[in-house]
Chains A and B, each alone.
Chain A
Amino acid sequence: MKKALSIFMMLMLLLGILVACGAPERETRSKSPDETKNKDKTAEEAKPEKLIVWEDIDKAVALKPAIASFEKEYGIKVEFQELNMADKMRDQLRLDGPAGKAPDVVTLPHDQIGQVVIEGLIQEINVSDDVLDTFTESSVNAQMYDGKLFGLPKATETPVFIYNKALMSKAPATMDELYTEAKALTKGGQYGFLALWDNFYFAHGVIAGMGGYVFNQTDNGLDPKDLGLNNIGAVEGAKYIQKWYKEGLFPKGIIGDNGGSTKDGLFNQGKVASVMDGPWAFQGMKDAGIDIGISELPTLPNGEHMKTFMGVKGWNVTAFTKHPYWSTKLIEWLTNEENAKIRFELTQEIPPVKTLIEDPIITDNEGAKAVAIQSQYAVPMPNIPEMAEVWEPAGSALQTIATGKAEPKAAMDDAVKSIETNITTNHPSE
Chain B
Amino acid sequence: MGMKKNKMIRLTVSYLIILLMCVVIIYPLLWVIGSSFNPGQSLSGASMFPKNPTIAHYAHLFNPEKSNYLYWYMNSLKISIITMISTVILTSITAYSFSRYRFIGRKNGLLTFLVLQMIPNFAALIALYVLAVRTELIDTHLGLILIYVGGQIPINTWLMKGYLDTIPKELDESAKIDGASHMRIFVQIIMPLAKPIIAVVALFAFIAPFADFILARIMLRSNEKFTMGVGLYEMVAKQFGNEFTTFAAGSVLIALPIAMLFLCFQKYFVSGLTAGGTKG
CA distance A96 to B130 in the complex (A): 9
B130 touches A288 (CB 8 A): no
Main secondary structure of the interface of A (DSSP, over half): helix
Q: CA separation between A103 and B126, bound complex, in Å?
A: 19
Question: A residues within 8 A CB of B223?
Answer: 82
Q: Is the CB of A278 within 8 A of B44?
A: no
Cα–Cα, bound, A81→B226 (Å): 14
Instruction: Considering the complex, give the chain A residue whose CB is closest to the CB of B234.
Output: A84
A288-B237 contact, Cβ under 8 Å, with A95-B129, A266-B45? no
Chain B 204-250 residues near chain A, CB threshold 8 A: 217-218, 221-223, 234, 237-242, 244
User: In chain A, what residue has the closest Cβ to B39?
Assistant: A288
Interface secondary structure of B, over-half rule: loop
The answer, yes or no, to whether B41 is at the interface (CB within 8 Å) is yes
Cα of A96 to Cα of B43 in the assembled complex, Å: 34
How far apart sit A82 and B46, CA to CA, in the bound complex (Å)?
A: 29
A81 to B242, CA, bound (A): 20
A400 close to B (CB within 8 Å): no
Q: Are A281 and B241 in contact (CB under 8 A)?
A: yes
Q: Which A residues between 249 and 300 are near B, CB-CB below 8 angstroms?
A: 260-262, 264-266, 268-269, 278, 280-281, 283-284, 287-288
**Is the CB of A11 closer than 8 A to any CB of chain B?**
no
Taking the nearest CB of chain A, how far is it from the CB of B44, in angstroms? 3
Partner of A287, one of B41, B43, B239: B41
Interface string of A66-88 (1 = CB under 8 A from B): 00000000000000011010111
In chain A, what residue has the closest Cβ to B243? A284
The answer to whether A281 touches B240, judged by C-beta atoms less than 8 angstroms apart, is: yes
Contact of A84 among B40, B45, B218, B237 (CB under 8 A): B237
B42 CB-CB contact with A under 8 Å: yes
A57 interfacial contact with B, CB 8 Å? yes
Question: In the complex, what residues of A have CB within 8 A of residue B239's CB?
Answer: 86
User: Is B74 in contact with chain A by the CB < 8 A criterion?
Assistant: no
B45 touches A265 (CB 8 A): yes
Interfacial chain A residues near B126, Cβ < 8 Å: 95
Contact (Cβ within 8 A) B240 A261: no
Q: Within 8 Å of chain A (Cβ to Cβ): is B55?
A: no
A264 is contacted by which of B44, B218, B234, B238 (Cβ under 8 Å)?
Answer: B44
CB < 8 Å neighbour of A86 from B44, B130, B138, B238: B238
CA of A202 to CA of B229, assembled, Å = 31
Interface residue count for A (Cβ, 8 Å)?
26
Check if A99 is an interface residue, CB within 8 A of chain B: yes
**B237 proximity list for chain A (CB < 8 A):** 84, 86-88
Chain B residues in 8 Å Cβ range of A281: 240-241
Interchain nearest-CB distance for A180 vs B (Å): 28
Among B46, B138, B222, B240, point to the contact of A265 (Cβ < 8 A). Answer: B46
Docked complex Cα distance between A44 and B167 (Å):
77
B44 touching A99 by the CB < 8 A rule? no
Q: Are B241 and A99 in contact (CB under 8 A)?
A: no
Closest to A94 in B: B126
Q: Which residues of chain A have C-beta atoms less than 8 A from B222's C-beta?
A: 81
Task: Chain A residues near B130: list those with CB within 8 A.
Answer: 95, 99
Q: Which of B227-280 contact A (CB under 8 A)?
A: 234, 237-242, 244
Min CB distance, B22 to chain A, in Å?
Answer: 27
**Does A287 lie within 8 Å of B241, measured CB to CB?**
no
Structural contact, B240 and A268, CB atoms closer than 8 A: no
C-alpha gap A278/B244 in the complex (Å): 18
B21 at interface (Cβ–Cβ under 8 A)? no
Which chain B residues lie closer than 8 Å to A278 at the CB level?
240
Give chain B residues whose Cβ lies under 8 Å from the Cβ of A92.
221
Cβ-defined contact, B133 with A99, below 8 A:
yes
Q: A261-B244, A280-B241 are in contact. Are A268 and B129 (CB under 8 A)?
A: no
Task: Contacts A95-B126, A288-B45 given; indicate if A268 touches B40 (C-beta within 8 A).
Answer: yes
Interchain nearest-CB distance for A98 vs B (Å)? 9
For the complex, give the distance between the alpha carbons of A99 and B128 in Å.
Answer: 13
Q: Which of A94-139 contact B (CB under 8 A)?
A: 95-96, 99
Which residue from B45, B129, B238 sits with its C-beta under 8 Å from A269?
Answer: B45
Of all chain A residues, the one with the shortest Cβ separation from B47 is: A269
Q: Report the separation of the CA atoms of residues A286 and B44 in the bound assembly, to the nearest whole angstrom.
A: 17
Given contacts A86-B238, A95-B129, A278-B240, contact A266 B41 (CB under 8 A): no
Nearest chain-B residue to A99 (Cβ)?
B133
Question: In the docked arrangement, what's the CA distance between A314 and B223, Å?
Answer: 23
Give A290 Cβ to nearest chain B Cβ, in Å.
10
Task: Note all chain B residues with C-beta closer than 8 A to A269.
Answer: 45
B238 cross-chain contacts in A, Cβ below 8 A: 57, 84, 86
How far does the Cβ of B12 sit from chain A's closest Cβ, in whole Å?
40
Q: Is the CB of A288 within 8 A of B40?
A: yes
Knowing that A86-B238, A95-B130, A266-B45 are A-B contacts, what are 9 other residue pairs whose CB atoms are under 8 Å apart, sorted by A's residue number? Answer: A57-B234, A82-B223, A87-B237, A260-B240, A262-B44, A269-B45, A284-B241, A288-B39, A288-B41
Q: Which residues of A contact B (CB under 8 A)?
A: 57, 81-82, 84, 86-88, 92, 95-96, 99, 260-262, 264-266, 268-269, 278, 280-281, 283-284, 287-288
